[in-house]
Structure 1
Amino acid sequence: MTITFYEYPKCSTCQKAKKWLKDQNIDFQAVHIVENPPTKAEIREAADKAGLELKKLFNTSGMKYRELGLKDKLKDASEEDMLEWLASDGMLIKRPMAISGDKATVGFKEDTYEKTWKR
């Protein structure tokens, strides 16, 4: 099983997640989330597999999120709007985002990674 691992290389959370995967000898394919952002379909798939609503996929602490005033816009946004925003800019997506088979995780919490990715 190889995990598709969307990351921003300078992100400390992504670095911690990557180290955890390496320490567990888990194969992953790193994808630069800004240079190659996931498509709307991949974002929808990650949300479904992680059991999260789309709102939870936003990087709410990012500058881009604040610049676009998304906090207020999200309340009334349609799923299509949210997918459109998330797919338009990798910096809007909470990271790292990892997908493989029927599983996905968004963000990094060691216990979640333990449950989801440990063999």
Structure 2
Amino acid sequence: MITVYGIPNCDTVKKAITWLKENKIDFQFHDYKKQGITKTILNNWSKQVSMDVLLNKKGTTWKACTPEEQADAAKKAGAIQLMTEKPSLIKRPVIEKGGNVLAVGFTADNYAAIFVK
């Protein structure tokens, strides 16, 4: 079973979920806002995907961070700490299966390559 990590009101997460449902792919949803995210999970992801991909520096949450928080995020430990405290900083959605990151973000072509065999 795959897990979709994100927040339900995110447009990209909505597109990903719609695509998965239309293609009859079973998944469970992990809501960062309600369920949080652990450093252990983020550390695992960071071994598979670069921090430049995981840490969303384009959103309003990043822009609202203090200069000190942004500077701390330059190091992996600081970025993980910040994403744990502010999960909206994690690029969405992250699709995972058995601890393996399958995708970060959403594009229909990428999902088709991953899920449609």
TM (norm. structure 1) is 0.82
Structure 1 unaligned spans of 5+: none
Report the equivalent of 2:34.
Answer: 35
Q: Determine what percentage of the aligned residue pairs are the same residue.
A: 28
Cα shift at 1:32: 1.0
Matched, 1:67 2:64: yes
Give the secondary-structure state (helix, strand or coil) at the position aligned to 1:34: helix
Report the equivalent of 1:90.
Answer: 87
Q: Tell me, yes or no, if the aligned pair for 2:39 and 2:81 is still in contact at 8 Å.
A: yes
Q: Tell me, yes or no, if the aligned pair for 2:94 and 2:101 is still in contact at 8 Å.
A: no
Give the secondary-structure state (helix, strand or coil) at the position aligned to 2:33: coil
Report the equivalent of 2:50.
Answer: 53
Cα shift at 1:10: 1.1
Report the equivalent of 1:19.
Answer: 18
After the TM superposition, which parts of structure 1 deviate over 3 Å for at least 4 consecutive aligned residues? Answer: 69-72
TM (norm. structure 2) is 0.83
Measure the CA separation in 2 of the matches of 1:106 and 1:37: 18
Report the equivalent of 1:104.
Answer: 102
Q: Tell me, yes or no, if the aligned pair for 1:37 and 1:87 is still in contact at 8 Å.
A: yes
Instruction: Write the deviation string for residues 40-94 of structure 1: whole angstroms up to 9, x where unpaired.
Output: 2212323434xx21122122222110011569526x7221111111111111111
Measure the CA separation in 2 of the matches of 1:103 and 1:79: 18
Matched, 1:5 2:1: no
Aligned CA-pair RMSD: 2.1
Distance 1:72 1:87, change over 3 A: closer
Cα shift at 1:100: 0.3
Q: Which moved more, 1:85-94 or 1:33-42?
A: 33-42
